[in-house]
Amino acid sequence: MGRPRLIPACGAMLRRDLTVAWRRRSDIAMPVLYALIVTMLFPFALGPEDTLLQRIAGGIVLVTLLLAMLLTLDAMFSSDIEDGSLEQLVLSPQPLELLLGMKILAHWITTALPLIVITPLLAAMLHLPTAVIPVLLLALLLATPLISLFGAVLVALTAGTRRSGMLLALMLLPLCVPAVIFAAGAVAAAQQGLPWLAPISWLAAALVLAVVLAPLACAAALRIALDA
């Protein structure tokens, strides 16, 4: 009885957040434009030397996409808190953790997925070798969900706090450092012709752990924030 009602509830939550995001298409375009502008500026700042750009292209793309995702994290639950729908989710008979998981998934689809789609273009602008781009895409497919999951927990912790954007960035950046290190390590290994599966495996293991624990922590943090 519970499972048939749970699956439609999760699907409805995902559709609802995707519909709201589509109505605010400018918010989806902002991180993409940010990533394009920042990536375009690097060749002007460093010069047109292909060797230098190729060596640092993977790190530039990873850091640029990380910072672009930070632009939208602060608004993940803000509209739900303002209109009271988040309180209805807490009072819902469905598990809050799964519903929040759908919201995190919707955030990743609307924020990280467009950035991953334009990653080959960003890599080409920095003269990253074509053979390395699939490794970069795989690293991003594993690293960007980690950022969304970690960010959701921290957004829940700072829910209701005024000017929480700076606090969120300061709290999230240390958590993202391991993901950036492993992702950049995989790209650098691929550029040098070395085995790159080890850092990708660490990223995958961290993602599995975060998928299990982050929605639980997010639900607990939101309950505390709403009770306060």
- Residue in the structure block whose two tokens are 């989806």: 28
The model's pLDDT over 151-162, given as tens digits with 9 standing for 90+, comes to: 888 888 876 565
Taking only the tens place, the pLDDT of each residue in 104-136 is 998 899 999 999 999 999 998 888 888 999 999
pLDDT digits (tens, 9 = 90+) for 27-80: 788 889 999 999 988 888 887 777 888 888 888 999 999 888 888 887 777 767
Could you give the C-alpha distances from 190 to 139, 141, 146, 151, 181, in angstroms and in order?
Answer: 11, 16, 22, 29, 14
Domain locations in the chain?
Answer: 2-227
Structure tokens at 35: 């990533």
User: In 3D, which of 159, 164, 171 has the Cα closest to residue 224?
Assistant: 159
Q: CB atoms < 10 A from the CB of 199, how many? A: 22
